[in-house]
Amino acid sequence: MISDTFSGLSRRHEGALICYIMGGDPDLNETKSIIDSLVEAGIDILEIGIPFSEPIADGKTIQAAGIRAISSGSNWKSVLIMISEMKKKHKIPIVVMTYFNILYNPGVERFINFAKQCGVDGLIIPDLPLEESSNVAKSSKKKSMDLIMMAAPSTNQARLNALVKSSTGFIYLVSHYGVTGAKGVLSNDTINLIRRTKQSINGAIPLAVGFGISTPEQVATALSSGADGAVVGSALIELISRYNNRRERAEQIIEYVSKLKSATLTAIRP
């Protein structure tokens, strides 16, 4: 489903807008409302975090969202059940982003089987090294679930080739060193990184860029530099956290995300 989405967007000369939210922030019922707003605003792929107590790749914004989700009683199973309810309502690819311990505790195969039953289309596991991913990759492949690998600014060509070979759905390019968090602008280093990575991948798999993207201008720059998709997370979570009133929050999400999506329509694609 993820590859089909990218293929369809490519035929229409669009980039993919991928939005990240934390499952259970501020609680699961409100998460459902937030997803409704994101779909209405036109996102192409939804990325949902499963809260974890030691999120090493997350900046303070997403860490705070994880704490709120855990405090509301959310866990891996309740988030997946929530996803199953939303998949019946919205036909949109859903990717789960979480840490390996969340899979390890119930067992990798059990987690993936349940996630597939709930309609999850792909997995991103930031703390799962390529060298230790074979068990997850095997279980994911058995269930036709994409395992999306992450490439860093320091990833060399040989390792990138291995990541491309092991990844399905898309490659997630981390745009800068450090943790997640909105940035003011995309630096020239990031633009050059996107261009180099796109050239190195040579069309083998779609390339999505995340960490630091928060504005329509940054989305357009990422796509114009060669990315097939842009991931927006921290800025969206910051916006969500400002509003307790559901209607007001929905209006703000739709206004913000619609502008992000519009940037994927107008970006000059290479």
Among the listed residues 14, 25, 44, 47, the single catalytic one is 47
CA distances (Å), origin 192, targets 16, 91, 186, 189, 196 = 20, 35, 10, 5, 6
Residues 6+ apart with CB under 8 A from 52: 66, 98, 99, 101, 102
Whether 58 sits among the annotated catalytic residues: the reply is yes
Helix (H/G/I), strand (E/B), else coil: 233: coil
| 217 burial type by CB count under 10 A (0-12 exposed, 13-18 middle, 19+ buried) | middle
For residue 123, the 8-state DSSP code is E
Catalytic residue chosen out of the listed positions 14, 25, 44, 58? 58
C-alpha dist (Å) from residue 121 to 130, 131, 148, 194, 202? 20, 23, 10, 25, 24
d(CA 189, CA 149): 21
> Closest Cα to residue 191, out of 177, 215, 174, 175?
175
Of residues 80, 72, 15, 88, the one with CA closest to residue 45:
15
Cα 255-256-257 angle, rounded to 5 deg: 100
Q: Which residue has the tokens 């975090």?
A: 49
Active site residue 127: no
Residues 6+ apart with CB under 8 A from 50: 23, 75, 76, 79, 80, 96, 97, 98, 102
Give the whole-angstrom CA distance, residue 95 versus residue 141.
Answer: 15
Catalytic positions, please?
47, 58
